Amino acid sequence: MIEITILYPYAPGRRFDHTYYETRHIPMALELLGPAVGGVTISRGIAPGPPWPDPIYSVICRFSCESVEAYQRAVLPHLGRLQADLSNYSDCEPVIQINQVTVRMGLDADRA
């Protein structure tokens, strides 16, 4: 199994519309990618105040897939549309990393 991790860097004054991302962009992505995606997790960076620093990322999104090849087959035909939607929710450039899942543990392992 792999995870496609999309990280949106945090910076004061940068725009990120969480509502649009969670209610419009991600549902569109899931519809376009279809059964190649086993699930998605969205995590918002928070700044609880001192002594904790500001978050490094506003949002971290993780899509799970069987393989890199399955993800590529699903995403490449729709990549332009997904990238074009970025301006509707953010003005920051996302960082994408593909990871091989090697261990899943804990109570949330079955829900992730």
pTM tops 0.85, yes or no: yes
Q: Return the CATH architecture of domain 2-104.
A: 2-Layer Sandwich (3.30)
Contact 38, 65 (CB under 8 A): yes
Q: What are phi and psi of 2, to 5 degrees?
A: -125, 160
Residue 37's alpha-carbon distances to 17, 30, 100, in angstroms, are 23, 7, 14
**Six token digits for residue 32:** 């376009």
Mean residue pLDDT of the chain comes to 93
pLDDT, tens digit, for every residue of 62-74? Answer: 999 999 999 999 9
